[in-house]
A and B are shown apart, each in its own frame.
Chain A
Amino acid sequence: MKTSDPLGLACPVPRTDADRVLMGHGAGGRLFAELFDTVIGPPIGADPVAEDAAIVAVDGVGVVISTDSFVVTPHDFPGGDIGSLAVHGTVNDVAMRGARPVALTLAYIIEEGFPTAELARITASAARAAEQACVHIVAGDTKVVERGGADGIYINTTGIGELLPHAVVTAAGAEPGDAVLVSGPIGRHGAAVLAAREGFVFDLRSDSCALAGMVEDMIRASGRRVHVLRDATRGGLAAVLNELAHASGAGIRIEELAVAVPDQVAAVCEVLGIDPFHLACEGTLVAVVAPEAADDVLAAMRARPEGEGAHRIGTVTDSPAGRVTARTGIGATRVVDMPLGEQLPRIC
């Protein structure tokens, strides 16, 4: 500090230009993008295009690989737990490249003192979720760290899948005129976890579920005309729309009132002062499809329970490139921006 230091603090206080990792760097918004572009991406020469999973050619066969880590607290929330979430999240990342998930790995990092009964319950939940999603848990690992070294339990996964015939799905695939679809009402996972964390009692369940079966039906219905698939996880609908607008070099225009926000989600957002467009979903995807395929894809989604609330929210435009705009209820236009980092509740 430039001023006197009456407290005799030995160390200079760090500068705002993140010389340390902040919680917000893990929230999937602009802070993460900065960290990736400046710190993580360059040494490994990673492709800056944000995809949920990579496609690797093995003996001429397209294999889809994804990895993810799960640190959710509380470990149990209405509609799921960290075990089922780990399976659903991994399966969905693989499916979002137009693939059928076949196997996954499950690695635990457990804090000393964690109840074995809870570990058994979480593992059973993961096994049940895997069975329902028709994937096998084929490998795993268990590490224990000293008390205080982790918050109970963390789970890391790897998912492997095979590309579906006719699937050409990439974040960069949106074309002007395409229809933007959402598979259900948004914000349910984020709102359920926040409500559980704050001790609120709401009639609200996480949407956590496997989307691979629905994706298979969508691709079967419309093949290459399904251009982009993203599950709206960290950063919510706003982050996903911005990522694919950026990756595709296109604009996206949505009708704000067309986006289904359940009353209970809206209520949690009002109480906590946050934006439902920024809340994570764990069983809801955004699809960008050729305009002539929109009705067929919507029908395929609605034929399944996880997609019964599917609806169209907007259209891909040629400009402004990389921008997401929404027509508000009164007919004005606003920009739907990328969330910055953590959601910070407002004062009033």
Chain B
Amino acid sequence: MKYLDEYRDPVLARALLAELGGLATEPWTLMEVCGGQTHTLVRQGIDEMLPAGMRMIHGPGCPVCVTPLQTIDRALAIAARPDVVFTSFGDMLRVPGSETDLLSVKAAGGDVRVVYSPLEAVRIALAEPDRQVVFFAVGFETTAPANAMAVLEAHRLGLDNFSMLASHVLVPPAMTAILESEHNEVQGFLAAGHVCAVMGWREYEPLATEFGTPIVVTGFEPLDLLEGIVMAVRQLEEGRCEVENQYVRAVRREGNTAAQDAIGEVFDVATRHWRGIGPIPDSGLALAERYADYDAERRFGVGDLNATEDPRCIAGRILQGGALPTDCAAYGTECTPRRPLGAPMVSTEGTCSAYHLAGRTAAPQTSPAGRNT
């Protein structure tokens, strides 16, 4: 398939691994920010092929994983209402709330529908004026522009039966929180290519300088990741700490300014609660006051619905890179993709799920690259 096969070429992949082997003189520790990147690394077994001692810490960039439990519970309460059509991206449907999930609400009679775009939800609202159509707007800066467009479109159409349960999060505050942590082991980042396609990389430049950490804007295919790793390691070996762009086919420094304008129009930066991590100031997006009519939390009065995480789940430490899924006593026993205790076991982008799907039972042992060294 054109534009994909070129980035999956096994011969080039082995050449990049050889280049990395010749380059790395220390057991560097990198973090890939995005869950999509984790998925590729684990699925292709790239992390097992790294030079001795080098390791990848899997970052907090899975939107399904960091959506707080109370938001899930609010979604479930709204979806169970008989007057509501609840629309969502597919992999939110299996995320466990305190006691159930959206798939079960659907089986019990709730009108829960998978959509591929928030604009589909707007079209449903237009076609079914007697129903309240709610879109579950989760994700990072990547999904925010389309979600903003949905609100603008509903506003333009004068729809009073469309609203949004928004739980947007932002990448740079999460990276800052990781770098400021006293337990931080991350020496370089692979930033999420699609987030940067929207936002550009200017906001990462102060982070690289302040914390002395190389940041490489990286794509999602195997060769993207390997090239991103090579670029980050080269910076570390040369003592540089810059923002570099591996994902040149999609990202420019200023990003997509039209998309940024749409986000700025519809959302305000706000404090957000991250599942497993807790509240981080200015780390998310909330609907701006002028679009408050489209806020499902207000419309359905679920704003005071709160919840407590399962104490057995160590999602917070995993999402911050402080632990591997295989460090968790519940991993693979009490917590499986079938019966997840925490969100990282739910989404295919989640670190625990990616490990489980790949059959990981302990830290990678096949090469000396694992953390068990």
Contacts and interface: CB of A to CB of B under 8 A. Distances in A.
Q: Judge: A and B partners, yes or no.
A: yes
Given A34-B338, A332-B45, A345-B90, A7 B103 contact: no
A59 interface: no
A16 B99 contact: yes
Interface string B145-188: 00000000000000000000000000000000000000000000
Interface string A1-42: 111101101001111111011111000001100100000000
A345 B107 contact: no
A266 B9 CA distance: 15
Contacts of B304: 4, 6
Contacts of B142: 348
Interface string B119-162: 00000000000000000001100110000000000000000000
Interface residues of B, number: 67
B93 A344 contact: yes
Task: Find the residue from A6, A21, A347 having the highest chain B CB count within 10 A.
Answer: A347
Task: Find the residue from A14, A337, A348 having the highest chain B CB count within 10 A.
Answer: A348
A347 B64 CA distance: 8
Nearest to B61: A348
Contact of B305 (A6, A21, A266): A6
A333 interface: yes
A293 B90 CA distance: 44
Contacts of B1: 263, 266-267, 270
Interface stretch (A159-167, A183-191, A279-287, A322-330): A322-330
B357 A346 contact: no
B85 interface: no
B296 to A, nearest CB: 13
Contacts of B43: 328, 334
A2 B76 CA distance: 13
A21 B104 CA distance: 8
A188 to B, nearest CB: 15
A281 B304 CA distance: 48
B139 A348 contact: yes
A258 interface: no
Contacts of B349: 346-347
A331 interface: yes
Nearest to A332: B45
A270 B347 CA distance: 17
Interface of B is mostly: loop
Contacts of B114: 344-345
A345 B116 contact: yes
A340 B337 contact: yes
A7 B302 contact: yes
A335 interface: yes
Contact of A24 (B44, B80, B103, B306): B103
Given A16-B339, A345-B114, A347-B91, A329 B10 contact: yes
B32 to A, nearest CB: 14
Contact of B359 (A2, A23, A334): A334
B301 interface: yes
A336 to B, nearest CB: 9
A1 B17 CA distance: 50
B63 interface: yes
B8 interface: yes
Contact of B90 (A3, A331, A344): A344
Nearest to A9: B80
Contacts of B306: 3
B92 interface: yes
A21 B103 CA distance: 10
Contacts of A49: none
A332 B305 contact: no
A48 B210 CA distance: 61
A23 B357 contact: no
A257 interface: yes
30 contacts: A1-B73, A1-B98, A1-B305, A3-B73, A3-B305, A3-B306, A6-B304, A9-B80, A16-B101, A17-B339, A22-B103, A22-B106, A22-B107, A23-B103, A198-B116, A266-B4, A329-B8, A331-B49, A332-B45, A332-B49, A333-B45, A334-B359, A335-B357, A335-B359, A337-B356, A343-B90, A347-B63, A348-B36, A348-B63, A348-B139
Given A16-B99, A346-B89, 8 more contacts: A7-B302, A9-B77, A330-B46, A331-B10, A332-B49, A332-B366, A340-B337, A347-B90
Interface of A: 1-4, 6-7, 9, 12-18, 20-24, 30-31, 34, 198, 257, 263, 266-267, 270, 272-273, 323, 325, 328-335, 337, 340, 343-348
